[in-house]
Amino acid sequence: MRHSHQVRFTRKTRSALLTALTCSVLSAPLHAQTLTISAWDIYNYPEQSAVINKAIKDFTAANPGIQINRSIHAFEDTRIPLKLALSSGDGPQVAQVNQGGGDMGALVKEKLLVPMDSYATTYHWTTRFPDSILKRNRWSEKQDFGSGHLYGVASLGEMVGLYYNKALLDKAGIPVPKTMAEFEQALAKLKQQGTAGLMLGLLDGNAGQQMLSTLWEDQIDSSDRKALDNLIYDVGGSFKDAKLEKAAQLMQKWNHDGYFFPGFQGIGHDDAATLFQNGQAAFFISGTWYMGQFKANKDIHFAALPAFPGVKKPLMVGGTDLPFSITSTAKTKAQQDAAAKYINYIVSDKVANDWLQAGFLPASSSASATLPKDNPLLSDVYKVWVTVNHNDALGHYLDWATPTMLTTLNQNVQLLMADKITPQQLAENADKDYQKYLSSLKH
């Protein structure tokens, strides 16, 4: 008997129902305003993940209308899996995207990323970050790398510089070198005293070409960086450059003079780092990715490579980690605004301080940052980072120039250090790779 269960409305129940309906109508817009943003990142190390989790907690507390659904992915997921997810419309609204033509460039070409220029203005990214950082995430309508619309902002930075063991230098009576001439004098004096001057691991590549890149870019003033920028962003140019040849010549000469750790040709770069950490050489030219490992040795410090004569603001090889981008699955203006607000918080000075306390180098460079007292090596690194960005002197990894340049440089540096080729031949071989790639872009 259906009617026996019918609700009988008295004046009291009508009043209660009317009150409930009024409350639900008044509260409906609040629920409607809650936006859920799906965000992919690759911060899978526990210390990194803790920084992001804290940032999300603080961000959502300050922005109750936005919910962040975070998922952690492997670096490989930022490539083909991300593209497939975005193409199907199921991907995240915010994602870390790998830089370069094969990844960010391909997503831009298929209109799977949202231009962020208006947000860069709103949140002052163009004044907080130097052009040398932002250009890495720019693509034009014609697929020109390094110009046009902005498609991402990064939260962590990295660079290649000079680690030195202060205790070994003090023992040898050598001050920390400030010029390239003083650096070479230090290497000569260390050799005389039976101490290895420079650590290097050439077996598995990378370390050699990073040293070559650092010596080349250390000769280029930031006011004169356009030619290198054009080279890396595939505008054009040539690797047949006198400064590149000089960098190769120096490496070959230092080898002949016996300044490198013995047997470096058969040592991998990670093993070389461990040997340096254990006091087996006074200097090591490498990246800030080793500072966490080196933190345990309080004698190890970090500086920019000593400058060549006449170069006031030398370029420094480096870059950022994967930038955060807004994707095409953020379909509404409200979603895009919320995504941009979240990204701005992730790259804020507040989160930059959290990165520093966790032992990482933030991409932003605030002079008022709070440096951890128990990590002097990170303080060294951060001070160099602030100076480099102030000078717009963040240079490039040379292997960005072509898809095959990494292999070409690694092989040629090994041949150079085995005296199988000349510095001039190294520059010519790199240029052949580059011109072939440029030519392929025109077809």
Q: What is the pLDDT of residue 364?
A: 86
Looking at residue 101, the DSSP 8-state letter turns out to be I
Q: What is the pLDDT of residue 443?
A: 65
Poorest-pLDDT segment among 20-24, 318-322, 407-411:
20-24
Does residue 8 surpass a pLDDT of 60? Answer: no
Does residue 116 surpass a pLDDT of 60? Answer: yes
Give the confidence band of 19 by pLDDT, cuts at 50, 70, 90.
very low
Note the Cα 242 to chain centre separation in Å.
Answer: 28
Q: Residue 319 pairs with which residues in a beta bridge?
A: 158
SS (H, E, C) 71-92: EECCHHHHCHHHHHHHHHCCCC
Q: Per-residue pLDDT averaged across 187-214, rounded?
A: 95
Q: What is the pLDDT of residue 272?
A: 97
Higher pLDDT, 212 or 9: 212
CB 166 within 8 A of CB 176: yes
Poorest-pLDDT segment among 13-22, 244-253, 315-324, 419-428:
13-22
Give the confidence band of 7 by pLDDT, cuts at 50, 70, 90.
very low
Poorest-pLDDT segment among 29-33, 156-160, 419-423, 437-441:
29-33
**Across the chain, what does the average pLDDT equal?**
90
Does residue 142 surpass a pLDDT of 90? Answer: no
CB 399 within 8 A of CB 409: yes
Poorest-pLDDT segment among 169-173, 185-189, 371-375, 376-380:
371-375
| Contacts (Cβ under 8 Å, ≥6 apart) of 280 | 196, 199, 261
Q: Give dist(CA 363, CA 153) in Å, integer.
A: 9
Q: Which CATH class is domain 35-157+320-379?
A: alpha beta
| Contacts (Cβ under 8 Å, ≥6 apart) of 397 | 210, 213, 317, 318, 319
Q: What is the pLDDT of residue 230?
A: 93
What angle is formed at CA 394 by the lines to CA 390 and CA 396, rounded to 5 degrees? 170
- CATH architecture entry for 158-318+394-441: 3-Layer(aba) Sandwich (3.40)
> One fold for both 35-157+320-379 and 158-318+394-441?
yes
Per-residue pLDDT tens over the stretch 149-197: 999 999 999 999 999 999 999 999 999 999 999 999 999 999 999 999 9
Does residue 139 surpass a pLDDT of 70? Answer: yes
Q: Per-residue pLDDT averaged across 62-69, rounded?
A: 97
Q: Per-residue pLDDT averaged across 54-72, rounded?
A: 97
Q: What is the pLDDT of residue 56?
A: 98
Q: Give dist(CA 128, CA 363) in Å, integer.
A: 10
Poorest-pLDDT segment among 5-14, 225-234, 258-267, 275-284:
5-14
SS (H, E, C) 297-316: CCCEEEECCCECCCCCCECE
Poorest-pLDDT segment among 31-35, 116-120, 324-328:
31-35
Domain extent listing, the chain: 35-157+320-379, 158-318+394-441
pTM of the predicted model, to two decimals?
Answer: 0.82
Poorest-pLDDT segment among 116-125, 157-166, 229-238, 308-317:
229-238
What angle is formed at CA 340 by the lines to CA 338 and CA 346, rounded to 5 degrees? 105
Does residue 274 surpass a pLDDT of 60? Answer: yes
Does residue 2 surpass a pLDDT of 50? Answer: no
CA 312 vs CA 22, 224, 225, 227, 408: distances in Å:
70, 11, 13, 18, 31
Give the confidence band of 204 by pLDDT, cuts at 50, 70, 90.
confident
Q: Per-residue pLDDT averaged across 134-159, rounded?
A: 93
Q: What is the pLDDT of residue 13?
A: 37
Does residue 18 surpass a pLDDT of 70? Answer: no
Poorest-pLDDT segment among 169-183, 369-383, 411-425:
369-383
